[in-house]
Each structure stands twice: as structure tokens, then as C-alpha cells.
Amino acid sequence: MQLLAAPTVVLGGRLVRPGWILFDEIIHEIGEGYPPARVRDVANVTTLPEGVLSPGLVDIQVNGAFGVDFAAASDAEWVRVAQLMPSTGVTAFVPTFITASIQELSGNLAIYSALRSRLDVAPGAARTLGVHLEGPFLAERRRGAHRAELLSDPEPALVAALLDAADGALTYMTLAPERAGALEAIAQLTSAGVRVALGHTDADAQTIRAAANAGASLVTHLYNAQRPMRHRDPGTVGAALTDPRLTCGLIVDLHHVSSIAVEVAFRASAGDIALVSDAVAAMGMPAGSYELGGERVDVAPGLPPRRADGTIAGSALQMDEAIANSVLHCGVDLRSAINSATQIPAHSVGRSDLGLLAPGATADLTWLGDDLMTCATWVGGQIAWSCDQITWSRDHELASSARVSA
């Protein structure tokens, strides 16, 4: 049994100063203040010297990372990315495939489905939570970096083909609700246990509400590639921010969305905001050229990835950076930012056991330093990554035990 105490802990979605948790594979007990002697006596004790102990970060939109594009990844590359994700604070994520042919998407789904059990047991790896398909049922006018010639209406047979290929591994799909047959497709997907996100859409507010009525529950990267809000035309953005049934993904890299727009979203959302990275292979890598869905994207220092025509294509954002940007540059309070990177995204894809520190929850944890960047992560109660493994396993733990006992 392990005991972690910290100056600040996010317990049940609340900031507690100080606080502690007792855990092995799952969390057994939590508390405010300093841990009592009865808890210290049955556990290996560590006190974190600074920062905040958070639930493990959950990223529900990841196209690739660390030089790997999931659409073209080998089995070994899938495992390597999953094992590197904890270095960014992420303990669970949803890999994303963008628009391609139905045949290619079906092949990608089948590869992931076959590989999933291996990913689940890879040592030190972040969990994968099924797949997100972003396309091909998107609006041409709001297609962004998606290839126009591959977009189509969500005909029942096409949706069925993707469901069959996924074999239960499809967690959610992004579509444009104004496309012919989209409302019927939402019903088809949700009846199969697949959540639906609204994105890359030019839909007006009434169509967004109709899609939510049909069962849609998410919005993909709020503001980006969707009909904006105007005073006589609330558009996708206005409808999304005022509908409590819709969880809105938001890319806070300070390029996709301005800091004021981020603050507006957090203040206005009647549902919830889920921070997402929308990361591509460039995440965790130096500036250069990478792939997204088989197409080249270029990354200049300090800027997001772009296609040759200048279109932004995903990001190189890390989830811990998204929290730091939200708090330090966008006026978002720490509790809200962390909840939007943990509990809210986890719950939006049906994982109520992840994204929170509470008795019975899975012991996926992230320690963020005072700068809100990742210092260490635990997956299923086991240390998956830390910034200084030697200090962690020896001197720091001994010093920490003495500090708690005092």
C-alpha cells in the first residue's frame, strides 16, 4: 500500500490543501490535512514537496505523438507512444484517425482492435480508451486539414462497415450534423454504444440542438472548423456553449484559440469543457516535417503544424501544457483546468473510474510541479514516469517519510 501526501491535491474534483491518498491498484482512502498515524503505519509514505497531485490526465483526441502518426504506426510504435505518454502527465488517451477512405479507416480500426490487448499490458504505458474517428462525414466548407475528395454523407452501410471493423473498439465519431442522413447516423452509432461528437460543421444552432436531441454528446475542438457565434446567428459555437448535454473539446495551445476565447468558453459553457491536445506526430519532437493521416505537415519553432497551404493541422500540444496555458494565460482557475483535463474528458467517453481521486477509482495519478508541468505519473498504482527516477526511488522517499512523520 502506498501513501502520497501533497501541498495541494484534487480530491473528488475539489482542491484540498494539503491532502493525501492511500492506494495500490485502486484508491482506498483519501483525506484532507496531514495523514493520520493509522494510515502512515500501513503504507509506504511519500510527501511531494511542491505542486499539485492530480488524477491522471485524460486526452480524448490524439492523432499521434513522439514522431508517430497512428494512421501509419507499426505495433512497436503504438506501444512506444503509449509508454511515452505518461511523460506528459497523460495516463489514458483516445487515439484518433482522421478522414480517409472507408477501407483505410476500417483497416486502421481492425489493427487497433487486434493490438489493444498488447497495449493494455505494456509496462508503464498509458491506457488507450478505444478509437476516435474524425471523419469522413464532415462538411466540406469546414473541412480544415481533411481531404475534400474523401468526405461523404454517413450512409447506413458506410457507418455499419466502420462499426463492424471496429469490433467494439470505436469510442466516438465526429461528424457534421447537417450532412444528409446525419441524424439517422447519430441514432445508428449511439445504439451501437458509440458516442457522437459534432465537428467540422457549418451547422446552425437549430441543427446542433437537433443532433443533441438525437444523441450527440460531444463537440470536437470548439471554435475550430465550425460555424462561429454571431449575435443573430449563434451557430455551432453558441449552441454548444449553451447546451448542457454537450461536452466541448478545446485546444489551448494559444494558437488554435485566443486566450480570451478560452476564458469565454470556461465561463459560458452550460455543459463541460474538456481540454484536448489534438496532437499529431510532432508532439514531443523538435520542429520539422511529420505526417498526419498520410499527408505532410510542417512545424516551425513555437508554431502549430500546418499543411503546405498554411492550414493548421492538429497541434504539438501536451496536456500538461494545456493546463498551464489555461491557468497562466487564460484566466482559468486551477481546479477547473485540472478537472477539464481529467474527470470531464474521462466521463465524456464513459470512464467514470478514471479522472478522479476518490475511493474505488483506478489509481492513475499525475504530480504537476509548481509550473504545472509533469513531475511524475502512476498508472494503476505503479510509477510509470518521473523526472528523476534515482531521486524518486531512494533519497526523496526517505526524506519524504521523515517529513510526513514530523
pLDDT of res. 391: 43
Mean pLDDT of the chain: 94
pLDDT of residue 270: 84
**Residues 92-111 as b or e (16 or more Cβ within 10 Å = b):** bbbbbbbbbebebbbebbeb
- Alpha helix positions (H), 250-301: 259-268
Q: Which domains does the chain have, with CATH numbers?
A: 2-54+358-405 (2.30.40.10), 57-348 (3.20.20.140)
Judge whether 187 and 215 are in contact, CB under 8 Å.
yes
Q: Who wins on pLDDT, 257 or 397?
A: 257
- DSSP-assigned letters across all residues of 305-359: -B-TTS-B-SB---HHHHHHHHHHHS---HHHHHHTTTHHHHHHTT-TTSS--ST
**Does 244 sit behind a cis peptide bond, omega within 30 degrees of 0 on the bond before it?**
no
Report pLDDT digits (tens) over 90-135: 999 999 999 999 999 999 999 999 999 999 999 999 999 999 999 9
Confidence of residue 400 (pLDDT cuts 50, 70, 90): very low
pLDDT of residue 402: 32
* Cell 519532437 sits on residue: 285
pLDDT > 90: percent of the chain: 91
Q: What is the DSSP letter of 71?
A: G
How confident is the model at residue 196, as a pLDDT?
Answer: 98
Catalytic residue check, 371: no
Q: Are 378 and 124 in contact (CB under 8 A)?
A: no
Return the pLDDT at 30.
Answer: 96
The model's pLDDT over 173-202, given as tens digits with 9 standing for 90+, comes to 999 999 999 999 999 999 999 999 999 999
pLDDT bracket for residue 401 (50, 70, 90): very low
Digit-coded pLDDT (tens) for 228-262: 999 999 999 999 999 999 999 999 999 999 999 99
Per-residue pLDDT of 292-326, as tens digits, reads 988 899 999 999 999 999 999 999 999 999 999 99
The two beta strands, 272-275 and 247-250, are: parallel
From the list 278, 309, 388, 395, the catalytic residue is 278
